[in-house]
Amino acid sequence: MDAVTVIRDKRDGLRLTDEQIQWFVGRYAEGDVVADEQAAALAMAIFFNGMESSELDAWTRAMVDTGQTLDLTEVGRPTVDKHSTGGVGDKVSLVLVPMVAACGAAVPQLSGRGLGHTGGTLDKMEAIPGWTSKLEPEAMIRILREVGGVIAGASADLAPADQRLYALRDVTSTVDSIPLIASSIMSKKIAEGTDALVLDVKVGSGAFLPELDRARELAATMVGIGERNGVRTVALLTAMETVLGRAVGNALEVSEALEVLDGGGPPDLVEVTVALAREMVSLAGLHVDPADVLSSGRAREVWNAMVRAQGGDPLASLAKAPHSEIIRAEATGVLTRVDCRSVGIAAWRLGAGRERKEDSVSASAGVICLAKPGELVKVGDPILELHTEDDSRFYAAKAALTRAITVADEMPSPTPLVIDRVD
């Protein structure tokens, strides 16, 4: 077996054998036989030629086999997780995990950090004083057993081949490949050991894949991988044309999530979160309505216990930015558009996001949508409120919003938040 032959076969459109895949992925993870440039060449060949479903299953399994698989059998509850493809203002996990845990499931949410215009769940949670994302497997299982929910960073031992390959794809323009995206996500979820999984595949200007057809293809691909690997899997396609909720930025999003847990919060955020929670509860075989659990206050109680179990103070004050500036309406009429991606880029430039994985983020920076599409506005009305620790960042943030806001004479047609379901 040699790397050049594997690359050539995929370059020429052949289906790689299971043995080729297992050898290549395993040797790349070990870091001594397959070089980065060879892995990059194979990723580019996959980008152009795709993978058959059985080939993709073998690829995903090979990535899982490069590391450990968590054993959650001692948790004592049905296990179910959720993964989002990422968006702007997507603080769903912060509400969803304690809500589903309060329904009786165990939710082992292994999350990531933000990059570019999309936010990361770990960055948001780290805005809570004292909270840590670093948990050993034994501690994670104990918290799942006692509390029901965990939000933590993935261990370096979980699908390590994927971690190496993802960094390489990021610098070789091979991120946007459905087989590679699907296997990257699903290898970590399979290694996580959960019984069931709900996928939140975002669609719209603020999403990783803005086109509906591509998002639906990704959803179907991931559902297929999950089901064939013994993980009960369902996907919802949800709208990301505008900010979910009103807050974008780490502490700002935590604050908004707490509003929902306390029985309030933006209706769009509540709707999407409850829809995903119902899918998770159903897959877990539980007979309870998450909306009732949310309104009862039990989800907030689980949140407090989750935060304390990971070293945080759920009652601590969150960071507030020392500088703010308002973006105002330049016309009178109906606000028909606040471009989601532009708002995400503005929040990133204000300090809430990062350009490279090693960059630090500001807890307090971000954007609040004071008005949302469908609302009537007059000239001078506040539309967006920008927050930052460094007022020199306002110029670049406002530049990202130059063409982001549209005011028209007619009300836009309503669009559903939950677009489709794939199972």
Q: Which tokens sit at 381?
A: 């009305």
Q: Which of 147-151, 169-173, 254-258, 334-338 has the lowest mean pLDDT?
A: 169-173
Catalytic choice (61, 113, 188, 300): 188
Q: What is the mean pLDDT of residues 345-359?
A: 85
**Is the per-residue pLDDT at 354 higher than 90?**
no
Catalytic choice (121, 133, 187, 194): 121
| pLDDT for 114 | 72
Catalytic choice (27, 66, 79, 81): 81
CATH number of 323-408: 3.90.1170.30
| pLDDT for 412 | 82
**Is the per-residue pLDDT at 124 higher than 80?**
yes
| pLDDT for 197 | 98
Q: Indicate the helix (H) or strand (E) that contains 383.
A: strand 382-388
pLDDT band of 116, cuts 50, 70, 90: low
278 is catalytic: no
169 is catalytic: yes
Catalytic choice (60, 93, 183, 184): 184
Q: Give me the residue spans of the domains in the chain.
A: 3-50, 80-309, 323-408
Model pLDDT for residues 203-234, shown as the tens digit of each residue: 999 888 899 999 999 999 999 999 999 999 99
Model pLDDT for residues 366-413, shown as the tens digit of each residue: 999 999 999 999 999 999 999 999 999 999 999 999 999 999 998 888
| pLDDT for 330 | 96
Q: What is the mean pLDDT of residues 247-262?
A: 97
| pLDDT for 215 | 95
Cβ atoms of 282 and 325 within 8 Å: the answer is no
DSSP 3-state of 223: helix
**Is the per-residue pLDDT at 357 higher than 70?**
no
pTM exceeds 0.85, yes or no: yes
Catalytic choice (27, 169, 300, 393): 169
242 is catalytic: no
Cβ atoms of 159 and 187 within 8 Å: the answer is yes
| pLDDT for 260 | 98
Q: Which fold has domain 80-309?
A: Pyrimidine Nucleoside Phosphorylase; Chain A, domain 2 (3.40.1030)
- Percentage of the chain beyond pLDDT 70 is 99
| pLDDT for 115 | 65
**Is the per-residue pLDDT at 130 higher than 70?**
yes
In angstroms, the Cα distances linking 28 to 38, 42, 61, 227 are 9, 11, 14, 27
Please list, residue by residue across 149-174, b when 16 or more beta carbons sit within 10 angstroms of its beta carbon and e when fewer do: bbbbbbbeebbbbbbbbbebbeebeb
Cβ atoms of 367 and 356 within 8 Å: the answer is no
Strands (E) across 163-315 are located at 196-203, 232-239, 247-248
Q: Which of 264-273, 310-319, 331-340, 408-417 has the lowest mean pLDDT?
A: 408-417
Catalytic choice (79, 84, 118, 205): 84
**Is the per-residue pLDDT at 176 higher than 90?**
no
Catalytic choice (61, 77, 82, 202): 82
SS (H, E, C) 134-157: CCCHHHHHHHHHHCCEEEEECCCC
Q: Which fold has domain 3-50?
A: 1.20.970
CA distance 42 to 47: 8
Model pLDDT for residues 53-105, shown as the tens digit of each residue: 999 999 999 999 999 999 999 999 999 999 999 889 999 999 999 999 999 99
91 is catalytic: no
Model pLDDT for residues 259-274, shown as the tens digit of each residue: 999 999 999 999 999 9
Q: What is the mean pLDDT of residues 191-200?
A: 96
83 is catalytic: yes
pLDDT band of 360, cuts 50, 70, 90: confident
121 is catalytic: yes
53 is catalytic: no
